[in-house]
Amino acid sequence: MNRQSYSQALYSQFARIGKAIASPRRLELLELLCQGPRSVETLAEEAGLSVANTSQHLQVLRSARLVNAERDGLYVIYSPAGEDVAAFLGTLRGLAESRLAEVVQVRREYLESRGTMEQVDSAVLVERVRDGEVTVLDVRPTEEYRAGHVPGAISVPLRELKRRLAALERGRDVVAYCRGPYCVLAVEAVEMLRAEGFTAFHLEDGVAELRAKGFTLAVGDGEDALE
């Protein structure tokens, strides 16, 4: 193998990753999987795609070794192929933010259209939870909460929030979080909470960002104390 053929062979392999994530829908599915393992059916529902279309996208991601698949009874459960996949997505987002002004513009227009949304710093949130000053809501689907969540957070998926408002302590600040800076579940939760008279804020970081900053996360159904 000469130098030219070596380079072509090498960069052809690198290009497999680029081709796999060239679809916005596949990027979205990969982001969802980084929140927690899911079946094809659950992914399809979350992403608003057909099961057949979702399955096709997953096969492309799997062929690039970005996701793994395991059979669990009648279902096939997909998950990221490793922690480096989530790290790669974070780097990709960071590059897009720094090079593409449109990324910031789209997000700003969305938030401004829904009114000013005050955010909570993750380090400040940790201290406030430790001191018992706030109620923290994880408004992602339950399976994502079980895969990893802020210790002490209560799992209240957005679709269940309205009927569970009565169980929340009034007169106490509420902080909602979801999948990270580009997820809108927490923004919608804060809107609902404020409309009901709660003092509510949203945490921009999701579990991937918190993990990258070195925060300890909890897994399972329990509500744990912050470490």
Cβ–Cβ < 8 Å for 219, 147: yes
Q: Catalytic annotation on 183?
A: no
CATH number of the structural domain spanning residue 73: 1.10.10.10
Burial 122-154, CB ≥16 within 10 A → b, else e? beebbebbeeeebbbbbbbbebbbbbbbbbbbb
Q: What is the CA radius of gyration of the chain?
A: 19
123 and 181: one domain?
A: yes
φ/ψ of 152, rounded to 5, equals: 95, -10
Give the list of residues 6+ apart from residue 60 with CB closer than 8 angstroms, or none.
19, 20, 23, 26
DSSP element (H, E) containing 13: helix 3-20
77 and 145: one domain?
A: no
121 and 206: one domain?
A: yes
Residue 149, domain member (yes or no): yes
Domain count, the chain: 2
Distance separating alpha carbons of residues 143 and 37, to the nearest angstrom: 8
What are the tens digits of pLDDT across the range 63-88?
Answer: 999 999 999 888 999 999 998 998 89
DSSP annotation of 218: B
Residue 135, domain member (yes or no): yes
130 and 190: one domain?
A: yes
Residue 128, domain member (yes or no): yes
Q: How many C-alpha atoms does 90 have within 13 Å on its Cβ side?
A: 18
Which domain-ending residue is among 61, 82, 103? 82
67 and 24: one domain?
A: yes
Walk along the chain (227 residues) and give the pLDDT tens digit of each residue.
Answer: 788 999 999 999 999 999 999 999 999 999 999 988 999 999 999 999 999 999 999 999 999 999 999 998 889 999 999 989 988 998 998 899 899 999 888 888 877 776 655 667 777 777 777 777 889 999 999 989 998 998 889 999 999 999 999 999 888 889 999 998 888 899 999 999 999 999 998 888 888 888 888 888 898 876 543 33
CATH number of the structural domain spanning residue 155: 3.40.250.10
* Among 178, 187, 189, 226, the one annotated catalytic: 178
139 and 187: one domain?
A: yes
Q: Identify the domain containing residue 19 by its residue range.
A: 3-82
Token pair for 163: 């009927």
